[in-house]
Every structure is written in C-alpha cells, then in structure tokens.
Amino acid sequence: MIVSMLPWSADFAGRMHEHVISSELLRGNPLGDPYERPLLVYTPPGYDDSPDRAYPVVYVIQGYTGQVAMWRNRTAFRQPFPETADAMFARGDAPPAIVVYADAWTAYGGSQFVDSPGTGRYHSYLCDEVVPYVDARYRTIPDAAHRAIAGKSSGGFGAMITPMLRPDLFGALATHAGDALYEYTYIPEFPHAVRHLRKYDGDIARWWDQFRSRVSFTQPEDMPLVALLGVAACFSADPDGTPVLPFDPVTGVLRPDVWQRWLDWDPVRMVPAHADALRGLRGIWIDAGTRDDFNLDVGAEAFRSALLEAGVSADSIYFELFDATHAGIDYRYPLSLAWLCQRMAD
C-alpha cells in the first residue's frame, strides 16, 4: 500500500516475507488446482538483528473458503491479523516467534488440511513440504516442542488434527471455533441441503456445474452446498475423486458407511486413538463463541472433555467460551498466538 497509515495500511515492526512454494505433492492434484502456492513468512522484531538466535514457529491456517491472500483483507475499525500479531510482538506481549501463513485452498474452497483423493494431499504438503521449506530458509528451532499450529473454523480443525497425526512435528495448537462434534457441526446442515437440492433433482453435481457457470453466491444454496461438497471431497471421496454425500440427497437418510468416514475425522472422536500425541503437547488453546453458528462452542466443550478423559493435563489446556457468533472473532487470534509463544518458551 502506498501510505503506511491506518486505516489503509500499517507498517510492520517485524517483516513479512512472500514466497511461492512449488509443491511436488500437489502437482497433478485431482482438481487441477495450482501446485505453486503463496506462502507468507513473518519474522518478528529483532530477527534481523539477532543473526544467531533461533525462533519457535507458529503455523497459521485458514477457515473454509480462505486463501492466504485474504490475510491482507481490511475491515472497518479493525486490522488484519498479521498486523495485530505484529503489534502483539512489538508490545512484547510474548516471546518472539516466526509466524507462517500457509495456503491450502482448493477449487471447492478448502482442503480441511487432509490428504484426500477428492482434493489432493494437503496434509502431507503442509507437513512434509511447507515445514521443511520454512526450516530450510529461516532460523527456526526445528523441533516439535517449538512448532505450533493455529487456526479458526476449518483451520481450527486442521490445528486439532495435524498434531494428532504428526506429534513429531507439532508440539502445541490453538483452535478457534474449530470443527468438532460433527453431529452438531454438520447434521443440522444436511436437511437444508436436501431442500436446496430439490431444485437440482437431488444431484449436487448439477448445482456445482451451474454454480461455476454463473455469478457465485447469488443463490441461497450456494454457500451451504459449496461447503457440503467440499467437505465430502475431503472426507468421503471415492478413489476416483468423486465426492460422496453422507446422506441420500432425496430422503436425507444417512449413509452410515459414508457418514462414518466423516466421523472418523471428528476431532472429539479422534482423541482416544491419539491420546499419547495429545498428552505430549505443550499447550492446547480451545475457544469459541457461545452463539457459534455451527455449535462449535459445544464442540469445544466436548473436545476439552475428551482431552481430559484421555489424560491430557488440565494445566496444558486453555479454554474459554466468549460471547460471539462464528463471525468476527479474528481479534482472538493474537491472544492464542501470545499464549502459544509463551508455552513454547517455557
């Protein structure tokens, strides 16, 4: 931006570095999405002046329909998270860390940060390509104890599951209104989808074709169906990549085997099998708004409860429900970022 002045722009105390990572794992992905991805790496104040110092890293991932360029979006009377994160470090609210903004967008609007024949290998790309890329180019402390992951909504989901699957890589996490307890996250949406699909004879592919051929989001079904289709692509795609809905689109009746594939990705249900990994984490931040549109406050409670039952120490958990919906909670991100940095510094 041309003027470094609020509300149009702000100077950083640290520095934001722009990269393009060329992903071998995303090459040839089923949706034909770009395998070259933008990557933003933020180095905190002091980084350039302390050439011998190594830093913890926090990976930040986004919610559904998010892509990394949106971190620059400006809204009235607020600043983008990269700026509030920078201000947090500039104030000295937490020990400095590198912050990495990774991109996992797909043509369906998201990847849920999993490997899927429906979308591509986004989990592996994040763990096996982005992390080494950053470690190779920045003075990181390259171990799990100094690597955290954070996100909101689908990004919160990614932040919950990635350390479960890769405790060798990630030692702390923060989830803001992360997808959890899928009967309340997803099931209330299914009957609405059935209704929306009536005008497409129950065929979501027909809606998708139409959606791509016209102005997006001019129909009330557009947002719920894009999310449904996208999550089906992530969780329950056929081997050939075709997304399979977890319910009959005409009667709404659940398809138990398909729905089970979704449940297998429910963080609450994943906890017992990954109890060791979770007990080893240095910090788990969980929060959500008490009026979350997808009931993710209830999911947050359930996730915490599952953690405690799995033997995770209450001391390693920060938990808070606050008055909010699912929207407008970006002001929470610097809070968890500071907390993660403190946990990793201890």
224 binds its own copies (CB under 8 A): no
* Torsion angle of C-alpha atoms 179, 187, 236, 153, degrees rounded to 10: -20
Compute the least distance from the CB of residue 166 to its own copies, in Å. 26
Among 54, 69, 205, 345, binds its own copies (CB under 8 A): 69
Compute the least distance from the CB of residue 134 to its own copies, in Å. 16
Are 10 and 1 in contact by the 8 Å Cβ rule? The answer is no
Stretch that binds its own copies, among 150-158, 170-178, 251-259, 273-281 (CB under 8 A): 251-259
Burial 212-233 (b: 16+ CB within 10 A, else e): eeeeeeeeebbeebbbbbbbbb
Are 65 and 110 in contact by the 8 Å Cβ rule? The answer is yes
13 exposed, middle or buried (CB, 10 Å; 0-12, 13-18, 19+)? middle
Compute the least distance from the CB of residue 75 to its own copies, in Å. 8
Are 101 and 68 in contact by the 8 Å Cβ rule? The answer is yes
Q: Which helix (H) or strand (E) holds 191?
A: helix 190-197
Stretch that binds its own copies, among 72-80, 150-158, 169-177, 237-245 (CB under 8 A): 72-80
Closest CA to 61 of 158, 177, 146: 158
The pattern of x and - marking residues 295 through 314 that bind its own copies according to CB under 8 A reads: x-xxx-xx--x---------
Stretch that binds its own copies, among 1-9, 94-102, 169-177, 275-283 (CB under 8 A): 1-9
Contact positions with its own copies (CB under 8 A) in 141-170: none
Report the distance separating Cα 66 and Cα 87, nearest Å.
Answer: 23
118 binds its own copies (CB under 8 A): no
218 binds its own copies (CB under 8 A): yes
Comparison of 34 and 45: residue with beta carbon closer to its own copies: 34
76 binds its own copies (CB under 8 A): yes
As beta bridge partners, residue 176 has 152, 287
Closest CA to 165 of 299, 277, 288: 277
Among 54, 205, 253, 345, binds its own copies (CB under 8 A): 253
Instruction: Please give the DSSP secondary-structure letter assigned to residue 272.
Output: G
Among 15, 18, 32, 313, binds its own copies (CB under 8 A): 18
Comparison of 140 and 185: residue with beta carbon closer to its own copies: 185
Query: Which own/partner pairs from 43-46 qualify as long-range (CB within 8 Å, at least 24 positions apart)?
Result: 43/14, 43/15, 43/17, 43/98, 43/138, 44/13, 44/14, 44/86, 44/89, 44/96, 44/97, 44/98, 44/99, 45/13, 45/14, 45/86, 45/89, 45/90, 45/96, 46/96
Contact positions with its own copies (CB under 8 A) in 268-297: 268, 290-291, 295, 297
Stretch that binds its own copies, among 23-31, 129-137, 153-161, 186-194 (CB under 8 A): 186-194
Among 46, 74, 139, 317, binds its own copies (CB under 8 A): 74
Q: Contact residues for its own copies (CB under 8 A)?
A: 1-3, 5, 7-9, 18-20, 34, 36-38, 65-70, 72-78, 103, 105, 109, 181, 183-184, 187-188, 190-191, 194-195, 198, 215-218, 226, 248, 250-254, 268, 290-291, 295, 297-299, 301-302, 305, 323-324, 328, 331
